[in-house]
Structure 1
Amino acid sequence: MPMSGPEDHVVKSEITRSGPDYALVKLTPTVVDILKEYGPGAIAGSFPDHRPPPGIRFGIGDTVAVSIFEAAAGGLFIPAEAGVRPGNFVALPNQNVDLNGFITVPYAGAVKANGRTPAEIQKDIVKAIGNRAIEPQVVVSLITQNTSLISVLGEVKTPARLTANAAGERVLDLITRAGGLSGPGWESWVTLERGGKRATVPFGALMYQPANNIWVHPGDTIYVYREPQVFLAFGAFTIGGSFGGQAQFSFDMWKISMAQAMAKAGGLIDAQAEPAGVYVYRREPRELAERLGIDCSKYAGPLVPVVYNADFRDPAAFFLASKFEMRDKDVLFAANAATVDTAKFLQFARLVIGTANDTIVTANNAQILKISTRQ
C-alpha cells in the first residue's frame, strides 16, 4: 500500500535494501546523557589549551621604538653638556624589523627582534653596550603592529584584520571589535581556525556555553556565516494542518529539543501514527557511536549512520524527548501504525467493489431503459 516511509517493524529490523547500513539506538536516559557531551562542534574540545595567549612578540614588518637611558651625562649617548636636560636618554628613530628579523642599534649593531618579546630585546641591547655606556637602561616598545593580527571575516558589521591585544581577548571580544553580528544570532555560525585546524559552533554555543568562548591567539582567523539550522519531518505528523506529509522547519533558535521539533511538525496524527515508532536519523562521529555501544567494525569512514528511536507509549519518553537535542539537518520520522495498512486495503477494496457495483447498476439501468423503450 502507498505510504510516506518505511514501516515501523522494517526500521527496527535494521535491514536496508539500498544502503547504507545503520545502527538503531533506543532513547534512554544514559543515551541522552552521552549525547550531551557531544554538542554541535564544540570549540573547547577542538582547542583544549585554554590558557591565555602568550605575550605579543615582534615580527617582520613591525615598527619598533628604542629609547636608551644612562645614569649620568658624559656617557656613550648623553654628552657632558646635557647634564641640565630633564632625563638622560636618547630616543632612536622608529624602525621596522627587517626581512632578516633584526633591528639596528648604534654601538650594539644588529639585534634580533623577530619572534622575541620587548624584554628579551632590551636585555640584549643592555648587554651589548653595557661596557661603554653609563649604567644603561633600555625601553623597547611596539609602535605599529603588522604581524600579531587576528582576522575576523564574514557576517560581521566591519570585517577586518585586528591587532592582538596584549591583555588577551576571547572569541566574543573579537567579534565585538568587528562591530558584532550582522544577522540574527540563532542563524549565525562561528568558525575558528588556528594552525590549519578549525572548529565550528552555533553563535549561541559561545553565549550560553562559556567554555567555547576560548582565548584567541595572534594569527587566528574567525569566520562568521549565516545558515539557518533546520530539520526535516516525514511521516505521520500533522504538518500544515494536513494529515501526513513532509516539510522542512527552521529551528528559529540556537537549539531545540526533539519534543519541540515534534510540536513544530504539528504532533503525531492520533489515528495514524505508531507512538513507539518515532525516529531521528543522523550521522554521528565514530567515537560517539562506540560510546553508544554500536559495533562500528562494519561502518567505513569517520561518521556512522544512527537512527534514534523514541517509544511514546511510555510516558517517560516525553521527558527524554525534552532533553534530546536536535542537530542541524536531522530527519524526524513517525511511522504509521500497523492497522493503517489494513484500513488502506479495506478502503481500496471498498473502492473496487463500489466501482464494480456501479458498473452493474449502470448496466441494469441501461437494460431497464431499453425494455421500457420497446414497450
Structure 2
Amino acid sequence: MRCSVMLLTVTALGLAGCTALPNSGPLSEAVESQAAVKVTSASKAKTAGIDYALVDLNKTLLAYVGDTVTPSFASGFGTGRGGAPNLPLGVGDVVQVTVFESQSGGLFIPADAGSRSGNFVSLPNYTIGRDGMISVPYAGRIRANGRTVEQVQREIEEKLANRAIEPQAIITKINSRSAQVAVLGDVNEPTKIELTEAGDRILDVVSQAGGLSVPGEETYITLQRGSRTGKVYYEDLVKNPRENIFVAPGDTVVVKRERRTYLAFGASGLNGRFNFEESSLTLGEALGQAGGLLDQRADPQQVLLYRTVSRDLLVKLGVDTSRFKGQTVPVIFRANLRDPAMFFAVQKFPMQDKDILYVTNSKSVELTKFLDILNNVTSTASGVSKDVVDTRNAIQDL
C-alpha cells in the first residue's frame, strides 16, 4: 500500500514539475490554456471531422483501380490511327494565286506572248484578312477562310470561265499562319511550329522545339485544344504510340516538369517524402523505396494508403457513397501483408502523386511503450527514497 501511495505521489510531483524541466518550446497545455480563441472539434476525440471510406486491397479492386490513374490523349481527343487533320486556309495565311490559260490572247496572257515560258500569270501575294476574303482580278472577292485550297481554286476558275481561255487556278501557301501549334514550357526552343499537310504528331512538334530540357520521367505533356485539356506522362507518350496523336491548328502543347512524390510515415524503414523516379510506381515498390516494414514495430496487417478517388470508382466497387458530397471521396486503402497473396496485389496496385503511405505499429509495440514508461516511473520512485536516505545521512555527518 505504501509503495502504491509513493508511486502515485512521485508521479503527480513529476507531472506537476514538468514546467520546470528543460523544453524546446511551450507545452501543449500552455498553448491551449493561453489561447485567446480556441477553434477545436466538438467531440472529445478531437477528430478532423472528415468522412472517409476504408477499402481493403483485393482482386476486385485491382480490376478497376488501374483504369483510373493513367491520363490519356487517345480517350479525350481521339486515337492517332486516323489520318492527319485537314489544314484549310485561314486568317493570316499568305497565299499566291497563279492563273493558267490554254493559249495566249486571253484575259491574262497577251497575244504577243509567244516568247513566254508558259501561259500563266502569278498574282502578288495576298494575306487573308479578318473577313476571310481574298481578291482576284476579274473574279472579285472570294471567301478563303475555312475552305480548302481546292475549293477556292475551283471557285476562281468558275468566275473566270466566261472571260479567260480555259482558265485554271493554282493557289500556293506562302505562309500558313493559321495552321500553327505553340510548344511551350520545358523544351530547349519554345516556339510556334507551322503544320504540314503530311500531319504532325505531338512528339514531332516537341522534337521541332528542341526536345525536352528536363528528365522525361518527371515530365507531363499537356495538350490544350479549344476548351478541352488533357495531360499525359511523357514516358507513357513514348511507350504507347496510340497516345501520340496528331496535333491540329491552334493547339497548344505545354511541356512541364512536375515531381511526383508520396509521403511515408509510421513503422517503415524510412520516413519522409519520396520521388517516383519513374513514370509508374506500384505500392510494393513504394514500400521498398521507403525501407520496407520494421520487424520490431510494424503491423503487417495494417499497411494504409491515403488517397482521394473519384466517386465513380467506389460505385463500381459497390460502396455506398450516399454519405459523401462532391465527385471525390477520401479513401484509405488497407493491405494485409500477412496474406502471402497480397504481395502479388501490391505489385499491381499503382501509386498516384501525393499519396500518403502509413504503416501502423503493432499492438505489442504500444504495450511495450507503456511498460517502459511504467518501469521508468517505478525506478524513479525507488531512486527518490534512496536519495532521501542518503541526504539525511549526509546532514547528520556534518
The verdict on a shared fold, with TM-score over 0.5 as the criterion, is yes
User: Could you tell me how far 1:333 is from its partner in structure 2?
Assistant: 0.7
Q: Equivalents in 1 of 2:163, 2:288: separation in Å? A: 82
Question: Aligned match of 1:141 in 154, 172, 194?
Answer: 172
Task: Read off the aligned partner of 1:347 and give its amino acid letter.
Answer: D
SS at match of 2:301: strand
Q: Equivalents in 1 of 2:323, 2:46: separation in Å? A: 14
SS at match of 2:347: helix
User: Could you tell me how far 1:19 is from its partner in structure 2?
Assistant: 2.9
Question: Aligned match of 2:102 in 55, 65, 71?
Answer: 71
What residue number does 1:98 align with? 129
Of the structure 1 ranges 174-183 and 45-54, higher mean CA displacement relative to structure 2 is found in: 45-54
Task: Read off the aligned partner of 2:286 and give its amino acid letter.
Answer: A
SS at match of 1:215: coil
8 A Cα contact 1:260 1:322, kept in partner: yes
Give the TM-score of the pair, scaled to structure 1: 0.90
What residue number does 2:145 align with? 114
- 1:58-98 alpha-carbon deviations (Å, 9 max, x no partner): 11221111111111222221122223433211111111112
Q: Which has the larger radius of gyration?
A: 2
What residue number does 2:246 align with? 215
User: Could you tell me how far 1:180 is from its partner in structure 2?
Assistant: 0.5
Q: Which runs of 4+ in 1 moved over 6 A?
A: none
Question: Aligned match of 2:361 in 333, 336, 354?
Answer: 336
Give the TM-score of the pair, scaled to structure 2: 0.85
User: Could you tell me how far 1:30 is from its partner in structure 2?
Assistant: 2.7
Structure 1 residues 209 and 299: alpha-carbon distance in aligned structure 2, compared to 1, 3 A threshold? farther
What residue number does 1:30 align with? 60
What residue number does 2:51 align with? 21
Matched, 1:306 2:337: no
Of the structure 1 ranges 174-183 and 133-142, higher mean CA displacement relative to structure 2 is found in: 133-142
Matched, 1:47 2:72: no
User: Could you tell me how far 1:300 is from its partner in structure 2?
Assistant: 1.7
- 1:334-368 alpha-carbon deviations (Å, 9 max, x no partner): 11111121111111100111111111121233344
Task: Read off the aligned partner of 1:172 and give its amino acid letter.
Answer: L
Q: Equivalents in 1 of 2:46, 2:214: separation in Å? A: 42
SS at match of 2:204: helix
- 1:291-321 alpha-carbon deviations (Å, 9 max, x no partner): 2322222222222112111110011111111
Matches within 5 A, 1:1-375: 17-48=47-78, 50=80, 51-239=82-270, 246-370=271-395, 373=397
What is the percentage of aligned positions where both structures have the same residue? 40
Q: Equivalents in 1 of 2:181, 2:246: separation in Å? A: 12
Of the structure 1 ranges 359-368 and 221-230, higher mean CA displacement relative to structure 2 is found in: 359-368
SS at match of 1:186: helix
Q: Equivalents in 2 of 1:81, 1:55: separation in Å? A: 42
8 A Cα contact 1:273 1:335, kept in partner: yes
Q: Equivalents in 1 of 2:213, 2:382: separation in Å? A: 67
8 A Cα contact 2:79 2:243, kept in partner: no
Q: Equivalents in 1 of 2:312, 2:340: separation in Å? A: 31
Structure 1 residues 319 and 84: alpha-carbon distance in aligned structure 2, compared to 1, 3 A threshold? same
Gaps of 5+ in 1: 1-14, 240-245
- 1:159-185 alpha-carbon deviations (Å, 9 max, x no partner): 011112211111111111110111111
- 1:40-61 alpha-carbon deviations (Å, 9 max, x no partner): 3222222236544431111122
8 A Cα contact 2:157 2:168, kept in partner: yes
Task: Read off the aligned partner of 2:163 and give its amino acid letter.
Answer: R
SS at match of 1:362: helix
What residue number does 2:37 align with? none
Q: Equivalents in 2 of 1:84, 1:370: separation in Å? A: 135
Task: Read off the aligned partner of 2:208 and give its amino acid letter.
Answer: R
Q: Equivalents in 2 of 1:19, 1:43: separation in Å? A: 37
